[in-house]
Amino acid sequence: MIVGTHVYSKRAAQEGGVATAVSLTSMMIRPLVLAFSRRSWYLMNRAPSSAKSEGIMQSIGLVLKRGEAQALTLGKEISQFLTQSGRTVLVEESCKDLAADWHATFTSNIADEADLLVVLGGDGTILRAAALMNDKPTPVLGVNLGRVGFMADVSPHEAMRELESALAGTAVFVKRMLLEVTPEQGNTARVLNDVVIHWGGVARLIDIGIRIGEAREIELRADGLIVSTPIGSSAYSYAANGPLIHPDIQGILLTPICPYAGLKRPMVLPPDLHIELRLKKGEQFSMTMDGHTTIGLPLGSSVKILKAPIPFVLAQSRGHDYIDVLREKLNLV
């Protein structure tokens, strides 16, 4: 465990689901805990792996940030390369207007039908790709066209080289934990960063009952609660005074937002414990998943959260180091 200090601002903004740190002057200093296990690092996720051999990666899905011109240009270039090499190109239904020009097929189940997803955008587009996952851990190659690139760390000029490496079975893939979220009156969703329970209107306190495994319920009275994965610990949870957790560790992080009573500090839980949140007092409850989907929740209802049965398999640039990324891209350590 490494313990240090970091300068924190309450105005730390979120960019694509990742909290961005601010200047080291005239700010409040607070402890920063960065924990990682060398055993976890080597035994669980760090070893290079070719997710599929060259002959099997036949169908390649493209997930785009449609509002980004560079995503369209690079997407067409990748599509031409893939079709010339005899592979099938898939696009989402929202991109069906591109299908004819790109010699692609549009589908509503791109994550299930593809052998590899190439994501062209930023970390927000990576989070959207995670939400597409069902029961198949389709590997993802994320090309960063945004400003942070914490998860999508392949640069545009590296995209073709990394794609060829993935198709040849020589790319490095890492496994990242997903959460499975099921509201009492709703559909199950997959989340890569975090789930936030909060007040839907003007900021007011809400009461949440937290049941962890078979233990008795823990009370929380706060502005809200963040439930995050290790990779999501650098996002909203960090802005709410939560610790950083190395993404090679498996665990679930509970971070209260401005707690008044009950659970007043973040808590890291083993990954196999089931969590149930019951909304006990308040109005206009909302649940936001990975910053892109928000649904209303009725008073008295519950939300069940657990580790998803599949991981999020993400291509990683060679030479990528988590600590260096925290320092260089997020200025957190």
| DSSP state, residue 151 | S
Stated pTM of the model: 0.83
Nearest to 279 by CA among 228, 224, 229: 224
Same fold, 59-171 and 178-307: no
Concatenate the DSSP letters of all residues of 241-258 into one string.
TPPEE-TTS--EEEEEES
Write the pLDDT tens digit of every residue in 218-238. Answer: 999 999 999 999 999 999 999
Residue 331: per-residue pLDDT: 76
Query: 6-20, 152-166, 193-207, 306-320: lowest mean pLDDT where?
Result: 6-20
Q: Which residue has the higher pLDDT, 67 or 3?
A: 67
Q: What CATH architecture applies to the domain 59-171? A: 3-Layer(aba) Sandwich (3.40)
Instruction: Report the alpha-carbon distance of residue 263 to residue 220 in Å, rounded.
Output: 5
pLDDT (tens digit per residue) in 132-161: 999 999 999 999 997 777 888 898 999 999
Q: Can you tell me which residue has the tokens 């692609």?
A: 104
Enumerate the domain spans of the chain.
59-171, 178-307
Q: In what order do the strands lie in the sheet with 252-257?
A: 267-269, 252-257, 224-228, 194-199, 285-289, 293-297
What pLDDT score does 333 carry?
62
The model's pLDDT over 76-133, given as tens digits with 9 standing for 90+, comes to 999 999 999 999 999 999 899 999 999 999 999 999 999 999 999 999 999 999 999 9
Q: Please give the average per-residue pLDDT across 303-308, as a whole number.
A: 98
What pLDDT sits at residue 275?
Answer: 98
State the average pLDDT over residues 196-208: 87
Q: Which pLDDT value is given to residue 40? A: 38
Cα(94)–Cα(101) distance, rounded to whole angstroms?
A: 15
* pLDDT grade for 75, boundaries at 50, 70 and 90: very high
> Which residues, including other chains, have CB under 8 Å from residue 7's CB and lie 6 or more apart?
21, 22, 23, 24, 25, 27, 28, 29
Cα–Cα–Cα angle for 199, 125, 171, nearest 5°? 135
CA–CA dist 89, 285 (Å, integer): 41
* 248 vs 39: CA distance, rounded Å: 10
The alpha helices in the chain, defined as continuous H runs, are: 38-40, 69-84, 96-102, 110-113, 123-131, 159-168, 236-239, 322-328
pLDDT of residue 327 exceeding 80: yes
Axis crossing angle, helix 159-168 with helix 69-84, rounded to the nearest 10? 40
| Topology adopted by domain 178-307 | Tumour Suppressor Smad4 (2.60.200)
Active site residues: 123
The pLDDT value given to residue 66: 87
In the predicted model, what is the mean pLDDT of the chain?
A: 84
Residue 54's pLDDT is what?
39
SS3 26: coil
d(C-alpha 161, C-alpha 166), whole Å: 9
Mean pLDDT within 170-187: 94
pLDDT, tens digit (0-9, with 9 covering 90-100), for 245-296 = 999 999 999 999 999 999 999 999 999 999 999 999 987 899 999 999 999 9
Among the listed residues 321, 314, 313, the one whose alpha carbon sits nearest the alpha carbon of residue 137 = 313
